Amino acid sequence: MSFLDALKEIFPASALRFDDASREEYGRDESDQGTHLPEVVAFASNAQEVAALLGLCQRERVPVTPCGARSGKSGGSLPVRGGVALSLERMNHILEVNVEDLTATVQPGVILGDLMKTVEAKGLFYPPDPNSWDWCTLGGNIAENAGGPRALKYGVTRDYVLGMEWVVPTGEVLRVGKRTIKGVAGYDLVGLFVGSEGTLGVATEITLQLLPLPRAVCTALMLFSELDGAARAVSAILAHGILPRTLELLDPVAIRALEGSGYHYPGGTQAALIFEVDGSAEEPLLAEVARAAAIAEEHGAREVQVAQGTAQREKIWEGRRQVSPSLRKLARHKLSEDIVVPRGKIPEMIAATHAMGARLGLTVATYGHAGDGNLHANVLYGGPEDLPRVQEAMATIMRHAIRLGGTITGEHGVGVAKRRFLQLEQSPELIDLQRRLQRFFDPAGIMNPGKIFPDAP
């Protein structure tokens, strides 16, 4: 039987697309890494279909690239070697929210924002909040081990995954992990699979840990006339024993980008921090905001606006979420980094990034999750003629982050965008060990090939 006939035995006709428009659509994502056409797009509706597809592709040596909303920033869902784009977006049911156990069980195509709203309506809280929460899927969050602003206090996706139904690249369906908070039986395969960027298999069901919804939240926007002051305020606030749930930074380029998108900051604002605390009552939170504001003012903050109510808070966050799309309007292209440095090194990293931009004559925006040291350095450029300088800028930023004790990616993953930089951070022995692990799970090398690791020497 031909591969195509076998595919048609696994999926109904309505779940297979071969037309050019669909292949183009599923050949792109949010990473600015070009279009890579799959031969076919297959829409799974259950684990058995996923398992049968992976088994078939393993036998026939056909590449499979899983995808959800394709909101990823490192090209994780790009079918760079063609083959099958396996979409999980139709598996989009929230299967259970268990108030007594504080767990939720979901299919991989559930939109993160839908889960957030559903559990919040029951007084529960799912903290990981990548900025694409209103359209990214939980399967993608699992694949990339997504983080977001609240990672500062609450950690990242991995910290909430208790167990999964997982299809390995050879087509077996496994249950990994558990449904309880504690549990140490066997190897931590959940830890291995979460963040494996689609190379070690596919989640077909996910059980997540939830928390009680904080009863009070307080958000402040701190405005600075100098970027360096804002960067130092981040370190100072954290060093004074305050643990906000977010501490986000916007630099002058990010602020300029927002101006054109309808978000206005007072004239002369060169940097902003979004400080947010949560807890069980409002009064102690206001005291924390006052302490943080005093520290910010010592570091040159000229204005601190405390959000009055949900609408004002949402407006502040809407501005933050618009940074990435707004930067696109300043230049034809942008490459987005998500390096992390130890928190004490945040001011140094920001200064080095801007100095590097000035030296190379490139506009670089630095913004993001400054509180956990995770900065989005975005290099803006006009066209292919700028690429050599852009590549140099990226390499410089990553080398600097590593020199300061950091890492090349805090939340977006390595994907295709950063695979040639992995060796800046990891030894050849470590990369080789991971390649062997990959081969163990995926002998034919069909699962999201061309990702994470540089091509073998």
197, 417 Cβ separation under 8 angstroms: no
Give CA–CA dist 110/139, Å, rounded.
8
Least Å distance, CB 340 to ligand LAC, is 12
Q: Which of 357, 256, 239 has its CA nearest to residue 298?
A: 239
Least Å distance, CB 151 to ligand LAC, is 10
Least Å distance, CB 410 to ligand LAC, is 9
Identity of the residue, 23 or 376, whose beta carbon is nearer to ligand LAC in the bound complex: 376
Show the binding pattern over residues 157-176: x = contacts ligand LAC (CB under 6 A), - = does not. --------------------
- Near ligand LAC in 333-362, by CB under 6 A: 336
Report the residue from 77, 103, 219, 324 that binds ligand LAC according to the rule CB under 6 A: 324
381, 348 Cβ separation under 8 angstroms: no
Least Å distance, CB 394 to ligand LAC, is 15
Least Å distance, CB 204 to ligand LAC, is 26
Identity of the residue, 58 or 324, whose beta carbon is nearer to ligand LAC in the bound complex: 324
Least Å distance, CB 333 to ligand LAC, is 15
Size, binding site for ligand LAC by CB under 6 A: 8
Q: Is 396 in the site for ligand LAC (CB under 6 A)?
A: no
Identity of the residue, 131 or 207, whose beta carbon is nearer to ligand LAC in the bound complex: 131
Q: Which of 16, 18, 82, 21 has its CA nearest to residue 45?
A: 16
Give CA–CA dist 136/88, Å, rounded.
12
Show the binding pattern over residues 38-77: x = contacts ligand LAC (CB under 6 A), - = does not. -----------------------------------x----
Residue facing ligand LAC at closest CB distance: 131
Give CA–CA dist 354/456, Å, rounded.
34
- Distance of CA 408 to CAs 329, 341, 376, Å? 26, 9, 11
Identity of the residue, 130 or 347, whose beta carbon is nearer to ligand LAC in the bound complex: 130
Give CA–CA dist 267/269, Å, rounded.
6
Q: Is 131 in the site for ligand LAC (CB under 6 A)?
A: yes
Identity of the residue, 376 or 418, whose beta carbon is nearer to ligand LAC in the bound complex: 376
Least Å distance, CB 101 to ligand LAC, is 31
From the CB of residue 287, how many other CB atoms can be counted at a distance below 10 Å? 12
431, 454 Cβ separation under 8 angstroms: yes
Identity of the residue, 89 or 372, whose beta carbon is nearer to ligand LAC in the bound complex: 372
Identity of the residue, 73 or 451, whose beta carbon is nearer to ligand LAC in the bound complex: 73
Identity of the residue, 209 or 336, whose beta carbon is nearer to ligand LAC in the bound complex: 336
Identity of the residue, 131 or 235, whose beta carbon is nearer to ligand LAC in the bound complex: 131
- Near ligand LAC in 360-389, by CB under 6 A: 368, 376
Least Å distance, CB 296 to ligand LAC, is 21
Identity of the residue, 165 or 248, whose beta carbon is nearer to ligand LAC in the bound complex: 248
The CB-side HSE value for 299 (13 A sphere, CA atoms) comes to 25
Q: Is 410 in the site for ligand LAC (CB under 6 A)?
A: no
Least Å distance, CB 368 to ligand LAC, is 5
Least Å distance, CB 336 to ligand LAC, is 6
Identity of the residue, 131 or 204, whose beta carbon is nearer to ligand LAC in the bound complex: 131
Give CA–CA dist 364/393, Å, rounded.
9
Least Å distance, CB 112 to ligand LAC, is 13
From the CB of residue 86, how many other CB atoms can be counted at a distance below 10 Å? 27
Q: Which chain residues interact with ligand LAC by CB under 6 A?
A: 73, 131, 323-324, 336, 368, 376, 411
